[in-house]
Amino acid sequence: MVCRARRGTNDLSRAGRSPAGAWYLGRGDGRGVWWCVAGSCSRGLSAARLGRALRGSVSEAEAAALRELVEGRGDAPGAPGVKE
């Protein structure tokens, strides 16, 4: 959780990372990261916070790919770090 606020799952978005390293939005297998739907929490998706939530290392390029996916700019097929 980016802002650490307590909210219901209807008020949150989730992303996870596949074993191949591609990001996906929504529920899936394994660990994920949650943030508030309303507000600016998606801008707080830093590499350090993502790594902590996923219990692994996340590069700044991977964090940027997730932020672009969340903002709707990285969902084109072939975008780096994005599940097609």
pLDDT for res 74: 56
Most confident of 4-8, 17-21, 65-69: 65-69
- Residues with Cβ within 8 Å of residue 7, at least 6 apart in sequence: 36
Nearest to 12 by CA among 21, 22, 3, 23: 3
Q: State mean pLDDT over 37-41.
A: 76
The Cα 40–Cα 17 span in angstroms is 21
Q: For 3-10, what is the mean pLDDT?
A: 82
pLDDT value at residue 66: 92
H helices present in 1-84, as ranges: 47-54, 60-70
Given a contact cutoff of 8 angstroms between Cβ atoms, the answer to whether 3 and 18 are in contact is no
Q: Out of 24-33, 34-43, 50-59, pick the least confident.
A: 34-43
Residue 83 has pLDDT above 70, yes or no: no
Let me know: does 52 contact 59? Beta carbons within 8 Å: no
Single pTM value for the model: 0.72
